[in-house]
Amino acid sequence: MTSSSSPAATSRRPLFKKILFAFAIALLLLAIAATAFLFRPMASPVGKAAVNDKPVDVLVIGGGIMGVTLATYLQEMEPDWRIDIYERMDKVAQESSNGWNNAGTGHSGFAELNYTPENADGTIATEKAVDIAEQFEISRQFWSHEVKQGRLSRPSDFINPTPHMSFVWGDDNISYLHKRRDALVKNPLFYGMQYSQDSSQIRRWAPLVMEGRDPKQKVAATFMPLGTDVNFGVITTQLTNALTRNPNFNLQLGYEVRGLHQNADKTWNVTVHDLKKNSDTVVKAKFVFIGAGGASLKLLQMSGIPESKNYAGFPVGGQFLAFEGPAATRRHNVKVYGKAEAGSPPMSVPHLDARKLDGKSVTLFGPFALQSTKFLKHGSSLDLFASIYKNNVSGMMKVGAENLDLVRYLAEQATLTDAQRQAELVKYYPNAKRGDWKLITAGQRVQVIKRDPKKGTVLQFGTEIVTDKDASIAALLGASPGASTSPAIMLDVMRRAFPQQMASSWKPKVAAMVPSYGQKLNASPELTNRIRRMTSQTLGLPYVEVPTTLTGVAREAGPNPTIKRNLNQEQQAL
């Protein structure tokens, strides 16, 4: 007996074949579109002719702390140079440099535990913490010079004494913190750091951290009286105002750079778009600095220089819980850094920060990661996709596969409820109530994905300077410690872009701005004391005298190291 298909089944076959064929065509078109997208040109096409025959000496893209710091240096080196800054917002310092968009920590390695990892043999690696502390000392010198020059006004407007603490619990973490402190105080830059496992002592340092805590919980803390809170937005704004006093400086707000094309003579034609008038202008420049925060990657790619093909970006946003009531702000004058949970990335290190913002005291807790494809807080959700090209897509996929813990962490953070944020908060502020805080969104960060010749493509935390072989363009990528070390980073940009001047005519001028230039403070207690004494007096910060006999053997700073009082009466408790 033979079987035959039913008429209905027979009629469905052509329909199924049509659907299958349409699906195959759709996949093919998608593959063609993806290929065309990945293989599209990175560099800007040749645009209109420049409006200026004589190129500007320096064109800075981005009105943040980095670009403004570079412009400040260069204006003092060469006051006759024409320097232009183009910023897409209607004010400077509206992205990551804004006080509400970062933690405001004067990063100096005092409290950040991720800067001092524990080695396999149980010792503590202190090199990164010392390097960051050295860089922050350059910041203090630069800002002190600007105060003396009248470019920065009253120091308390932008920097305030705010002790830095590390706080941990659990036997393993307590052991680590003790070893960390013993390793760090061998260094002149870290002399004066105190350590305690005494709950009553820690409560005197940070009452909000201890009140309401289980008295049976084992805790430990380090306390460094030399820590600071910095408002980088105020610094950026004041330095910009000072720059405008020179007629050779030009600030253009509301302009977005949409094209970068290098000319045969190594100058650059920069296409800037007036966002209000919806019109383009092309400006010729001898040197271009890209300091546009998260947008720097896309602009670097736009330049088309070969070095740009080695980079991609991984955007991460941040949120904080903000306390503005006196119950928190009047009783918390420290920055308390904890230890990231096992498996969490360095960016997740929790901290309870005392801040000075908009002329008032604020306490912030965080950060909580915010999943986003934007490269700027005020950017586009298409930013990430627009940065993907044939040369970096495989590396991005490799980094994603190798950092599944980070991907998982971000996915978990995206689903957090207020109750879960509160649960994290009470680990550091046990008596905090849900109604005491509001959730705020901070700035956007873009972590560097870099093609390393030895390691392959890696996800890199920190900052990265990229220049072309002609030293005609430079870009700053990455994030923390970022703004805290901006004067040191910009000196590095100047060394790469203007090596001859930095080795000759500019050298004494730089030394006048940064007296320790070319030297390491940590190698000399005498130099540490001289430089810190000067900057502490100018900036109104506390000062700890380092014994000149400190020779690399761990010393107890004692419960009361010698602290020279500053003029801010509110800080006399130090």
Beta bridge partners of 271: 259, 282
Show Cβ contacts of residue 371 under 8 Å, excluding neighbours closer than 6 positions: 316, 317, 410, 411, 413, 414
Answering whether pTM is above 0.85, one says yes
* 44 Cβ neighbours under 8 A, 6+ residues apart: 258, 259, 260, 261, 271, 302, 303, 304
CB of 184 closer than 8 Å to CB of 129: yes
CA dihedral 205, 209, 214, 220 (to 10 degrees): -50
C-alpha distances (whole Å) from 353 to each of 204, 337, 365, 366, 377 are 16, 8, 6, 9, 22
- Report residue 235 CA to chain centroid gap: 15
Q: What is the largest CA-CA distance in the chain?
A: 107
Q: Is 325 left (phi over 0), alpha (psi -120 to 50) or beta?
A: beta
The per-residue DSSP string of 353-398 comes to EEEEETTEEEEEEEEEEE--S-SSTTS-TTHHHHT--TTTHHHHHH
Q: Where are the alpha helices (H) located in 415-454, listed in sequence order?
A: 418-425
Residue 457: partners with Cβ closer than 8 Å, 6 or more residues away: 312, 394, 395, 396, 398, 399, 449, 450, 451
Q: Give every residue of the chain whose pLDDT is below 70, as ranges.
A: 1-13, 342-347, 551-574
Q: For residue 93, what are the contacts with CB-CB under 8 A and spacing of at least 6?
A: 63, 64, 65, 68, 232, 233, 236, 237, 240
In order of 86, 145, 530, 539, 560, the CA distances from 139 in angstroms are: 24, 10, 15, 11, 27
Q: 95: which residues sit within 8 A by CB, 6+ positions away?
A: 64, 89, 101, 293, 294, 376, 377, 378, 443, 444
Q: Residue 254 gets which letter from DSSP?
A: S
Residue ranges per domain, the chain?
56-572
Q: If you search the block for the tokens 């008596």, which residue do you land on?
A: 431
Q: What residues have CB less than 8 Å from 101, skipping those under 6 apart?
A: 95, 377, 442, 443
Token pair for 380: 């586009």
CATH placement of domain 56-572 = 3.50.50.60
